[in-house]
Each structure stands twice: as structure tokens, then as C-alpha cells.
Amino acid sequence: MHILVVGANGQIGKHLVKQIQENGDQARALIRKEEQADYFKELGAEVAIVNLEDEVEAIAKAAEGVDAVVFTAGSGGNTGKDKTLMIDLDGAVKTIQAAEKNNIKRFIMISSFDTSREAIQAAPESFAPYVVAKHYADEWLLNTDLDYTIIHPGMLTNDPGTNQVKLGAKVARGEVPREDVAKVIYTSLNNDSTIGKRFQVVGGQTPVEEAIQSVK
């Protein structure tokens, strides 16, 4: 499988590209800066340098010839509301449109743990714009004909992956290693039962492959 990883230089993205390459598939890492490329080239991944604030056509060109797209980009915690809007919402929508332009059906979105209207109302003022952006990016994807999966991870950590998670439509809030989120993404790509599904994921005691097979 040939997979475009959008936001590849993020921590989840790096884990995902590594897992793709180690399992015999081919990743194309979409990154923003040339100086970020060496890590991915050393893994044998392809590299596409595109700013998500560019037009849809630039992202579409980077997506040519792939079988699936994973959106794991984010503006980061140190940016303002403007970047949250431009990356987490507009960048996500443009990536969806780029997939559609290339007739790429498979699309995985990494969202926030809870993007419901209730979560927006409950979010602290500083965090609410991020939840809003993720809410509407999710809604846009849900209203396409793409073979989507939306993954809602819990509080992300840099702990080593355990290959064990708990996932479901609704689970209690908790932490989850970024490495395990990457494994959930990769396993979802290889399991059609996750198409048209959205689920939350936190650390747990169920092996990732088994947890993914239980998705309903």
C-alpha cells in the first residue's frame, strides 16, 4: 500500500512512517521544510514538501499515485487561533479535497478525543478553537463519499508503545502513547472493518490488532 502521511514530521507521523516502512508498505511523508526530510529518506520513505496553507492543487500533486491518505497534522499547542483555523480545519479540508481530486478513497483522520458540540461547550477558552476546528473537519469528512476512519485519541504521551489499547465509540478519558496511536492508524489502514467508523482510543490491555477487529 502506498500511503500519504500528512503532518509526517509530527510525533505520531514519524512513528507511522517508520511502521509503514518496516512492514513493507510505502510511505510518502508530507512535510513543510526541506530540513525535515533526512529522517524520512533514511527510512526509505518518499518526501513531498508542501505547506498546508498552500492551495488544494499543491496538496493534490503531493497525493498523486497513493492508495490512502492519513491526516495527522496539527498546528501545535504554541500557535494562536489563526493557525488552528488554517491547519487543523482548512488544511484538513483541503487534504480531503486533494484526495477527492485524485480519486483516493481511503482516508484516515486523526481528530481530538471528543469533538462533539458538548465538548466544545465544556472546553476551556484557550482549547475551544482547537475542538471547534476538529469538529468541523470531522463533519466535512463525514459528508464525503470517502472510505473514512476517524480516530479520536486520548491524552497523548511519549511513553514507549505497549501495543495494547482500549477503543470504542465512547471510552473513559485516559492517556495513550503516540506510538500506539500510530499502530492503530496502520492497523486500521489494513482492516476494512474500520471504514465508515469513528472511535476513541486510550491505553488499555487489548492488543491493537484484536481491538481493531472489535470495531463496530
Mean pLDDT over 104-116 rounds to: 96
Mean pLDDT over 126-144 rounds to: 94
* Cell numbers found for residue 125: 477558552
pLDDT of residue 126: 84
* Cell numbers found for residue 162: 505497549
**Would you name the residues annotated as active-site residues?**
130
Cell 485516559 -> residue: 174
pLDDT of residue 77: 53
Q: Tell me: the pLDDT tens digits for 3-61?
A: 999 999 999 999 999 999 999 999 999 999 999 999 999 999 999 999 999 999 999 99
pLDDT of residue 22: 97
Is the model's pLDDT at 78 over the cut of 60?
no
pLDDT of residue 76: 63
Q: Tell me: the pLDDT tens digits for 148-169?
A: 999 999 999 999 999 999 999 9
Expressed in angstroms, the distance from the first to the final Cα of the chain is 24
pLDDT of residue 30: 98
* Cell numbers found for residue 80: 494562536
* Cβ–Cβ < 8 Å for 78, 32: no
pLDDT of residue 125: 87
pLDDT of residue 216: 79
Average pLDDT score, the chain: 95
Mean pLDDT over 62-87 rounds to: 85
